[in-house]
Amino acid sequence: MKRDVASRIELQVTEPAELVFSMAVSGHHTPVTEHITFTLDDQPLTFDAVPDSHGTRLQKVQSPAGRLVASYDASIVGEAAATVANATDRITYLRPSRYAESDALGPTAFAEFGSITDPAELLSSVSSWVGTHLSYVSGSSLPTDGAIRTLLARQGVCRDYAHLTVALLRALNVPARVVSVYAPGLFPMDFHAVAEAWVEDGWHVVDATTLAPRSTLVRIATGRDAADSAFLTTVSGRVDLVAMEVMAIVDQLPNDDLNQPVRMH
């Protein structure tokens, strides 16, 4: 499998800012080719590469005021290295987090899924339940919305679907986390967010939106929720998003059997 991905983010920096980008594919991938650049008013801008423990490759930029453009592209052939869960992960990803309030959603999770004992059936059931109880509506949620607000609103975008899925799974004692990805087949094209759940011997993708084949996804960032996986974090200063373009293609787009577990490669 060959996948080509790219993204371009244009910002207007109105006050000198410290910014953290998450555009590069995870360190679990070995790109055949890869380029990343930052410019300010068409002049090169330096950045610091900051890896984390889960292979996420962050780029930290100190930017004066002006027009900042971040560009990234990569080609990937074959599968990425498998990700594992150590003892700390299996604790961390069971805990409630900022956007995945699993403690408050415990009664809902057990009422709907408490009788399911088969892990594969549980993942499929939670994914289907979230997908049928929410409507995908662009612009319907705020960046501060968590799983509870999403469930009450009954609508959201991919990160909202992922947060609700993660919260329900954690409430059922299944370690779960959020992953930002490039998603070949997604329409309209954008950065995408999915859930991953640890069952038996591996992390399995749970995407309640069903908007892209799970086997084609390319990992970017991994964490507790959107706080750990956002494509851009403004640490200080002020910026306005002017434009963003995302591209992800695969040499052959496969079908996705939603009843079969899938690991991200």
pLDDT in tens, 71-117: 999 999 988 777 888 889 999 999 999 999 999 999 999 999 999 99
* pLDDT number for residue 201: 82
pLDDT in tens, 226-250: 999 999 999 999 999 999 999 999 9
The residue ranges of the chain whose pLDDT is under 70 are none
* pLDDT number for residue 180: 97
* pLDDT number for residue 79: 81
Q: Provide the 10 A C-beta neighbour count for residue 73.
A: 17
Walk me through the domains of the chain, giving residue ranges and CATH numbers.
2-79+232-249 (2.60.40.2250), 87-229 (3.10.620.30)
* pLDDT number for residue 52: 86
* pLDDT number for residue 53: 76
pTM: 0.94
Q: For residue 188, is the peptide bond before it cis, meaning its omega torsion is within 30 degrees of 0?
A: yes
* pLDDT number for residue 256: 87
How many Cα neighbours within 13 Å face the side chain of 175?
A: 18
- Reduced DSSP (H G I as helix, E B as strand, rest coil) percent helix, strand, coil of the chain, to 5: 20, 40, 40
* pLDDT number for residue 200: 84
